């Protein structure tokens, strides 16, 4: 077997089926190489990891490293995984197709030979078919070579290992990012908790300061209320003491004026002054008293307004001591001119009455005018009495002011007691808030410490589990790669042994076919000579019957041995990788058995037609080659036994 013969065997011929299978093999191999070259890149894996910008992107929680590696594999890589097997199956398919066509052709040749088409043409066609039988195994050879080449190229390229390492790095980066995010989240939670505690502390401090300022304000207000109460009480007492002499003097002046008027009336009745003088005197008296009365009314109104303002200011508990003192001074300053005016007007009235009395004494006019003047004077006295009643009301108002001041003092005391109670309540509330807040902060600190310890332990366990998983993954990946390498080596060794056995079987088969061809040629020549001898003699057929019967029995035993060989080969075909070859051998042996049966039938026909000694002599000459054929067919097991044992071992 030379290199040129191997190249000539591998190159496809002009047969359309060979060209089709050869082109298909080249296209599939090129498509696989191009697909892996374009798809086995980190950009393609990253794109499939992200899901092509859609929502079906992958995550580290979607499976193990091997599952994610299989998920991100490109179509070219997946095609490269299954393409060697596809090419091997296509090669076997081409071989079976060629063998099937060859067997159909052989059966057609034999049928034509049986139909009387001539043994020479049948043998020539059969030899032509046998010469092209080797080309039927080209596709199987192409498939095996493509399988080995793609497997070797895949192992050398190492795209699966690179993809697996890329997935491991991607998952490691995702785990690192997740741990960093969890750490940042814990830090943010701690910062937020610390800020919240700081704000609570500041709020408590500001609330304590506000409560302290409120207590100080309440204490100051209590002091001011006490001072206001004392100042108001003193002002009322001073006002009462200042008004009592004035009221007494005013009452005395009014009594004197009343007495003077009564004396004037008495003098008017007694002396009978004239009407004109009395009228003029009364007019003068009215003109003199009218401004005084108006002034007195105005003073009364002012005094009433001042008292109302004072009462209003006293009802307001928020006034200061200086405001109360100024209000009392304003009241005194407002009442003092009024009292002075009252005294002045009373003196003026007394003087006017005295002048009127002297005038009436000097001018005694009509009694009617005097009576009118007396009535007018009486009305003036009534107005003066009203003024006196107003002054009494002012005194009562002052008394009420004193009572109101005492009520203000009581209210201030009640306010002080209420403020004291409020202070105690606020102190209790602040104490309880401080205690509850302290316990809450302590519980928060304890829970935070426990949570941090738990989280630390959990993260430590998770980190240990991740490291263990990564270690186990690395070891499992290494073991898997070792197993794959070992299985590849075993499969290559098995394929090599099968190829060697196949080559040996092919050589043995070629040798057997050659020897059988020689035997068939010799048999043909002898059959021709026998047929010639049949026409010359048929006398010795009776003596040859017994020998021919032995040949027939041996042929039958050969057929039985061939059937047993076929059964044995069928038993071995399930465990042999050379099943197609064994099927072919079994078919050929069965075909030879049928040929021998047909030859037996022809011999029987010759037996019936033989009638002379020359035919017996020709049949005797056929006995030796038939005996050799029978021996070869009876003993095929020694030659096939090593082949079957080697196939079983493979």
Number of domains present in the structure of the chain: 3
Q: Token match 């302590």: residue?
A: 442
* Confidence band for 471, pLDDT divided at 50, 70 and 90: low
How far is Cα 650 from Cα 431, in angstroms, rounded to an integer?
Answer: 94
pLDDT at 415: 59
Domain membership flag for residue 214:
no
Are 145 and 231 in the same domain? no
Q: Is the pLDDT of residue 248 over 70?
A: yes
Are 153 and 268 in the same domain? no
Are 138 and 251 in the same domain? no
pLDDT at 193: 83
Q: Is the pLDDT of residue 321 over 50?
A: no
Of the candidate ranges 402-411, 490-499, 533-542, the one whose mean pLDDT is the lowest: 533-542
HEC sequence for 18-57? HHHHHHHHHHHHHHHHHHHHHHCCHHHHHHHHCHHHCCCC
Token pair in block for residue 602? 């022809």
pLDDT at 179: 86
Q: Is the pLDDT of residue 422 over 60?
A: no
Are 249 and 149 in the same domain? no
pLDDT at 649: 39
- The count of residues in the chain is 650
For 515, other C-beta atoms within 10 Å of its C-beta total: 13
Q: Token match 């109101």: residue?
A: 404
Are 252 and 349 in the same domain? yes
Per residue in 125-156, pLDDT (tens digit) is 777 667 666 667 888 888 898 899 888 888 88
3-state secondary structure of 612: strand
pLDDT at 472: 64
Per residue in 61-78, pLDDT (tens digit) is 555 777 777 777 888 788
Q: Which residue has the higher pLDDT, 101 or 468?
A: 101
Domain membership flag for residue 215:
no
Question: Residues 483-507: what's their mean pLDDT?
Answer: 71
Q: Which residue has the higher pLDDT, 438 or 142?
A: 142
Domain membership flag for residue 97:
yes
How far is Cα 591 from Cα 110, in angstroms, rounded to an integer?
Answer: 10
Q: Is the pLDDT of residue 318 over 80?
A: no
Are 370 and 276 in the same domain? yes
Per residue in 570-613, pLDDT (tens digit) is 665 555 555 555 565 556 556 655 655 665 565 565 555 544 44
Are 273 and 372 in the same domain? yes
Are 297 and 404 in the same domain? yes
C-alpha pair distances (Å), 77 with each of 40, 69, 145, 343, 490: 7, 11, 20, 129, 24
* Confidence band for 35, pLDDT divided at 50, 70 and 90: confident
Per residue in 367-399, pLDDT (tens digit) is 555 556 556 556 655 655 665 565 566 656 556
How far is Cα 160 from Cα 70, in angstroms, rounded to an integer?
Answer: 9
Are 232 and 367 in the same domain? yes
Q: Is the pLDDT of residue 451 over 80?
A: no
Domain membership flag for residue 134:
yes
Residue partners of 317: CB distance under 8 A and separation at least 6 = 225, 408, 411, 412, 415
How far is Cα 361 from Cα 244, in angstroms, rounded to an integer?
Answer: 36
Of the candidate ranges 25-34, 38-47, 126-135, 533-542, the one whose mean pLDDT is the lowest: 533-542
Token pair in block for residue 484? 């794959």
Domain span holding position 352: 225-416
Helix, strand, coil share of the chain (percent; to 5)? 90, 0, 10
Q: Which of 373, 394, 416 is the last residue of a domain?
A: 416
Of the candidate ranges 14-23, 147-156, 256-265, the one whose mean pLDDT is the lowest: 256-265
Are 231 and 141 in the same domain? no
Q: 319 pairs with which residues across the strands?
A: none
Are 389 and 242 in the same domain? yes
Residue partners of 416: CB distance under 8 A and separation at least 6 = 222, 225, 226
Q: Which of 416, 435, 460 is the last residue of a domain?
A: 416
Domain membership flag for residue 231:
yes
Highest mean pLDDT among 157-171, 233-247, 601-615: 157-171
Highest mean pLDDT among 170-174, 551-555, 602-606, 642-646: 170-174
Question: Residues 515-535: what's their mean pLDDT?
Answer: 64
For 399, other C-beta atoms within 10 Å of its C-beta total: 12
Q: Do 346 and 264 meet the contact criterion of CB atoms below 8 Å apart?
A: no
Domain membership flag for residue 641:
yes
Question: Residues 157-168: what's their mean pLDDT?
Answer: 83
How far is Cα 107 from Cα 120, in angstroms, rounded to an integer?
Answer: 16
Chain-wide mean pLDDT for the chain?
66
Domain membership flag for residue 622:
yes
Q: Which of 378, 398, 416 is the last residue of a domain?
A: 416
How far is Cα 141 from Cα 138, in angstroms, rounded to an integer?
Answer: 5
Domain membership flag for residue 456:
no
pLDDT at 141: 86
How far is Cα 544 from Cα 556, in angstroms, rounded to an integer?
Answer: 18
Residue partners of 407: CB distance under 8 A and separation at least 6 = none
Q: Is the pLDDT of residue 364 over 80?
A: no
Are 237 and 131 in the same domain? no
């Amino acid at each position: 077997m030379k290199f040129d013969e191997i190249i000539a065997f591998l190159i496809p011929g002009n047969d359309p089926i060979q060209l089709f299978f050869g082109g298909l093999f080249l296209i599939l191999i090129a498509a696989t190489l191009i697909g892996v070259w374009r798809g086995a890149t980190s950009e393609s894996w990253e794109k499939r990891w992200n899901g092509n910008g859609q929502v079906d992107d992958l995550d580290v929680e979607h499976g193990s490293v091997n599952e994610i590696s299989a998920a991100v594999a490109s179509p070219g890589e997946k095609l490269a995984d299954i393409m060697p097997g596809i090419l091997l199956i296509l090669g076997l398919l081409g071989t079976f197709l060629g063998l099937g066509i060859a067997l159909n052709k052989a059966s057609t040749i034999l049928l034509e030979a049986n139909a009387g088409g001539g043994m020479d043409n049948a043998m020539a066609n059969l030899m032509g078919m046998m010469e092209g039988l080797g080309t039927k195994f080209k596709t199987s050879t192409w498939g095996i070579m493509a399988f080995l080449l793609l497997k070797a190229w895949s192992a050398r390229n190492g795209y699966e290992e690179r993809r697996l390492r890329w997935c491991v790095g991607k998952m490691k980066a995702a785990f690192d990012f997740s741990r960093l995010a969890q750490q940042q989240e814990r830090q943010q939670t701690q910062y937020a908790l610390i800020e919240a505690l700081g704000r609570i502390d500041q709020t408590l401090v500001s609330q304590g300061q506000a409560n302290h300022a409120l207590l100080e304000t309440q204490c100051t207000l209590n002091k001011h209320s006490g001072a206001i109460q004392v100042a108001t009480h003193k002002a009322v007492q001073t006002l009462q003491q200042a008004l009592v002499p004035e009221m007494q003097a005013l009452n005395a002046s009014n009594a004197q004026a009343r007495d003077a008027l009564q004396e004037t009336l008495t003098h008017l009745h007694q002396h009978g002054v004239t009407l004109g003088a009395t009228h003029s005197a009364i007019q003068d008296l009215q003109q003199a008293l009218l401004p005084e009365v108006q002034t007195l009314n105005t003073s009364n109104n002012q005094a009433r307004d001042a008292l109302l303002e004072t009462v209003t200011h006293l009802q307001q508990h928020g006034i200061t001591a200086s405001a109360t003192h100024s209000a009392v001074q304003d009241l005194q300053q407002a009442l003092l001119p009024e009292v002075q005016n009252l005294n002045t007007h009373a003196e003026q009235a007394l003087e006017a009455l005295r002048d009127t009395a002297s005038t009436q004494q000097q001018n005694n006019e009509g009694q009617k005018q005097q009576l009118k003047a007396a009535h007018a004077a009486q009305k003036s006295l009534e107005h003066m009495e009203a003024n006196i009643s107003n002054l009494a009301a002012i005194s009562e108002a002052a008394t009420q002011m004193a009572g109101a001041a005492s009520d203000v003092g009581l209210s201030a005391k009640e306010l002080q007691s209420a403020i004291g109670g409020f202070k105690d309540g606020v102190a209790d509330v602040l104490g309880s808030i401080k205690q509850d807040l302290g316990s809450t902060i302590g519980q928060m600190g304890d829970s935070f410490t426990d949570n941090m310890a738990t989280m630390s332990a959990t993260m430590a366990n998770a980190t240990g589990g991740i490291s263990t998983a990564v270690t186990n993954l690395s070891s499992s990946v290494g073991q898997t790669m070792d197993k794959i390498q070992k299985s590849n080596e075993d499969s290559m060794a098995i394929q090599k042994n099968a190829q060697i056995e196949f080559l040996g079987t092919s050589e043995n088969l070629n040798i057997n076919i050659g020897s059988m061809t020689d035997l068939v040629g010799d048999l043909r020549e002898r059959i021709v000579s026998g047929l010639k001898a049949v026409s010359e003699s048929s006398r010795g057929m009776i003596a040859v019957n017994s020998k021919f019967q032995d040949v027939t029995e041996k042929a039958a035993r050969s057929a039985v041995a061939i059937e047993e060989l076929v059964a044995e080969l069928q038993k071995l075909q399930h465990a042999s990788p050379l099943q197609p070859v064994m099927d072919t051998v079994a078919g050929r042996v069965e075909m030879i058995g049928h040929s021998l049966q047909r030859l037996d039938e022809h011999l029987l026909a010759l037996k019936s037609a033989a009638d002379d000694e020359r035919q017996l002599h020709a049949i005797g000459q056929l006995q030796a080659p038939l005996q050799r054929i029978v021996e070869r067919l009876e003993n095929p097991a020694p030659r096939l036994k090593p082949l079957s044992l080697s196939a079983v071992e493979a």
